[in-house]
């Protein structure tokens, strides 16, 4: 069985583990930054739980998170400062979408994206914004995102594309 639910502080260790397994060190959010996100905008931080037949209890297979903002593009300062979250903003951002290596290639990332789109629509957001690397542009386009060009963000020293989805 799979469940997507709002993340809690008790999920932090598992979330941090998946974050560090999924992103290069320069790009991965630190434990402290993930903690701040959970403290400030937990309502915009979701995890997918899956039954684990070995442990006989649910395990976190992946997550998606991002602050709400009035800006149509992600700025680097947002990754570092969770207090920039503006619940009255019209844009839902995506800071991280990650799936544990043990659960990859099962459609979990897609399910998390669809959940984010549904929640953003239900909470009257007008759009979603994220950044991704060149090799993921086509992946996000499958969900209706459009490539808005090379981002001003240089988070982790990488080149990013701004991706936007109007709801």
What's the alpha-carbon Rg for the chain, to the nearest Å? 15
Residue 124 predicted with pLDDT over 70: yes
* Average pLDDT estimate for 90-113: 97
Note the pLDDT of residue 51: 82
User: How far is residue 84's CA from residue 75's CA, in Å, rounded to a whole number?
Assistant: 10
Residue in the structure block whose two tokens are 């903002």: 69
User: How far is residue 16's CA from residue 158's CA, in Å, rounded to a whole number?
Assistant: 21
pLDDT digits (tens, 9 = 90+) for 4-62: 999 999 999 999 999 999 999 999 999 999 999 999 999 999 999 998 766 678 899 99
User: How far is residue 12's CA from residue 164's CA, in Å, rounded to a whole number?
Assistant: 28
* Average pLDDT estimate for 146-157: 96
- Enumerate domains of the chain plus CATH numbers: 2-166 (3.40.630.30)
- Strand 68-69 relative to strand 91-94: parallel, antiparallel, unpaired? antiparallel
End-to-end CA distance of the chain: 29
Of all residues in the chain, what percent are helix, strand and coil, respectively (each to 5)? Answer: 40, 30, 30
Query: What's the maximum distance between 2 C-alpha atoms anywhere in the chain?
Result: 45
Single pTM value for the model: 0.95
pLDDT digits (tens, 9 = 90+) for 68-85: 999 999 999 999 999 999
Q: What is the Cα 70 distance to its own chain's centre?
A: 17
């Amino acid at each position: 069985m799979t469940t997507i639910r709002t993340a809690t502080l008790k999920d932090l260790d598992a979330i941090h583990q998946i974050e560090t397994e999924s992103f290069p060190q320069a790009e991965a959010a630190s434990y402290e930054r993930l903690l701040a996100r959970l403290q400030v905008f937990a309502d915009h931080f979701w995890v997918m739980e899956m039954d684990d037949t070995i442990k006989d209890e649910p395990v976190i297979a992946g997550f998606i998170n991002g602050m709400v903002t009035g800006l149509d593009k992600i700025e680097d300062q947002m990754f570092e400062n969770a207090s920039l979250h503006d619940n009255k903003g019209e844009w839902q951002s995506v800071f991280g979408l990650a799936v544990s290596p043990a659960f990859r290639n099962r459609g979990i990332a897609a399910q998390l994206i669809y959940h984010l789109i549904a929640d953003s629509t239900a909470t009257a957001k007008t759009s979603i914004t994220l950044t991704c690397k060149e090799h993921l542009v086509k992946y996000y386009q499958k969900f209706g995102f459009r490539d808005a060009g090379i981002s001003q963000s240089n988070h982790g020293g990488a080149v990013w594309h701004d991706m936007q989805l109007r709801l």
